[in-house]
Structure 1
Amino acid sequence: MERFLDELLIEPWRIPVIIATATGIYLGFMVLAKLFGSRILLAMTASDAVIIIMFGAVAGRVIIGHPPTLAAGLLGLASLMVLEAAFGTLRRFTGWGRLLNRRPVLVVSEGTMLLDAMRTAHLSRTDVLTAVRRAGLGSLSQVQAMVFEPTGTMSVIRTGQPLDPEVLRGVRGA
């Protein structure tokens, strides 16, 4: 019974260590996402999925530590959820979100790929053409504007549609 409890519970001295490592991993991922962008969210390839799974495995091991226990895992998950809620609140009431969140980027204008903007967003020609097809268009010339969103999605506005300038407010390159 004692061995069973050892697998479930956590030594009290490990609690602040788990909270500190969860905080470090969370902040580290936020910085890496800022540096490398949200392109990985756009078109998840098999290798992207493998990388994300590996990130999760590494982060989990670092947060929970050794030996992993149920209590350590739950504490690690709870710490990450509290951090996400706290940073969400901080983003809403301060300028913190502008530091972490990428701005949307105009990557196609009037049927022309904006190569510098695509480079900044870490997008390839294939990524843009895939978004054209997903929008149900047969040609890049049918694109009035394409915006790479901070969520990793592409918004496509077709040629000939009325375009309110307010829609592109805050979009880099618009």
Structure 2
Amino acid sequence: MATSPDTTLLLIIAGISVVGLGHGVAMALVVDLIVSSAPAEKTGSAAAAQEVGGELGTALGIAAGGAVGMTVYRASLSASMPAGVSDTAATSALNSVHEGIATAQELSAGGPELLTAVHHAVAAGLQTYAAIGAALVGLAVVLVTIVLVRRDDAQGPHEEEGDTPTPVDTPS
């Protein structure tokens, strides 16, 4: 799995690049959908609302990711705390990932085991957040599809490209 402690840096960079590329393409399509759906005199307002919404969504996603990641990190590390790690060191390691690594590096007895447990706890947090993110993206795909299908149904049948309307005879 791409979030295991043994994942190479190259694989992590490749994964983040794919996510970034997908995000960029999706955002271009979303912006086009939002702006093209607004009346011509309101396109500036629609673009501004989309930009604010996008920034807010990004900030909330980062905050939610941190909360989920830390919750899972603490639960996972608590469950796999190596024997022989003092209560003080365990409490310090549970405070944050940075403190967990620093504490593990300072310990002579149990340090390598604690470091491995910290790495696995971080991986568990990332995996959980990725699973939640994937489920939310799947839900968004379903919702967007439903909205677009309903919108197309409401607009009625579309003319095929190349079809020309039949001229209407006018009485003389």
Give the TM-score taking structure 2 as reference length: 0.30
Larger % of strand: which? 1
Q: TM-score, normalised by structure 1?
A: 0.30
Q: Which has the higher contact order (CA 8 A, sep 6+)?
A: 1
- Larger Cα Rg: Structure 1 or Structure 2? 2
- Bigger proportion of residues as helix: 2
